[in-house]
Structure 1
Amino acid sequence: MRPAEGAGAVFWFRFTAPRAPVEADAEAAPPAPTPDAPPALRVLAAEDHPANRKLLALLFQSFGLDLALVENGRNAVDALRADRFDLVLMDAMMPVMDGVEAVRLIRAEEAAEGRPRTPIHMLTANVFEDDVARYRAAGADGVLGKPIQIGALQALLEQTAASAVPA
């Protein structure tokens, strides 16, 4: 019997492959910073979805950076009032306060208080031209698309590290 046109097909396969050897130091803790080493970047990420927060935590652990996670824009604004960060990654759509509103409020407070401008990049799947224009109009410095491209994230972190001002 032939399947109906456009119905498609499902294929299953199985193969055996040897496990890759685990290097002895791959499981070791990251090296402690030396006295001359610059401090790790401090990154604040506002993300409402628990799975995305977990992914961010795993990504940033591999980069050896100091990551603070919050669940919405209101918490991000509060965190920036209480502490200094080198970079903020802001989800666009969150409950309580969305990312665009949070960025506007952060920029207004920085200007009113004479605080240095913290780099803020939106972290969102909404990356159409009009979305990006709206984020930039609110005060965002850039946009990282979801799913996260590791190379783009690395480039942003390197750029941030190169321009970070010591606390």
Structure 2
Amino acid sequence: MKVGVISDTHGSLRLEAIAALEGCERIIHAGDIGAAEIIVQLETIASLYIVRGNNDLDDSWAANLPDSLRFDLNGWQTLLVHDIANVPVVLEPQIRLVITGHSHKPCIEWRGERLFLNPGSAGRRRFKLPVTLALLKVHEASIEPRLVHLLE
């Protein structure tokens, strides 16, 4: 299963991001979406798992979005939250994939058998941080994450 992971679009969905997400079976947005139109655009590519970010709190279109989601991704129990500070200190043992956003800093980190993933920010460049998203190849027994740089 090919899965796209994106975060911190802040109302801007780059053409490079759309191209990178083509062919995904699922897209995960880790919050700070910025506009309802982003959701509509992403839904034309694949079904979505999406959470609200701290910059989405005052937007009426985001009022019904969850702050966190737990779901199965081809056998990988997944926790999705915007800010890593909201990840429980002690996670349920079945959670094998934790996806966050917020910091705009991409990170792929294995902690034992659990993958922590922050796809970085796919929106406007912030400071000198890269503009990225992540792609996952998800198999029942393994997962292959990689970052996609949208701007050089």
> Which TM-score tier does this pair reach, normalised by the shorter chain?
0.3 to 0.5
Looking at CA atoms only, which structure, 1 or 2, has the larger radius of gyration? 1
Give the TM-score, by structure 1 length.
0.38
Greater strand proportion: 2
Of Structure 1 and Structure 2, the greater helix share is in 1
TM value normalised by structure 2 = 0.40
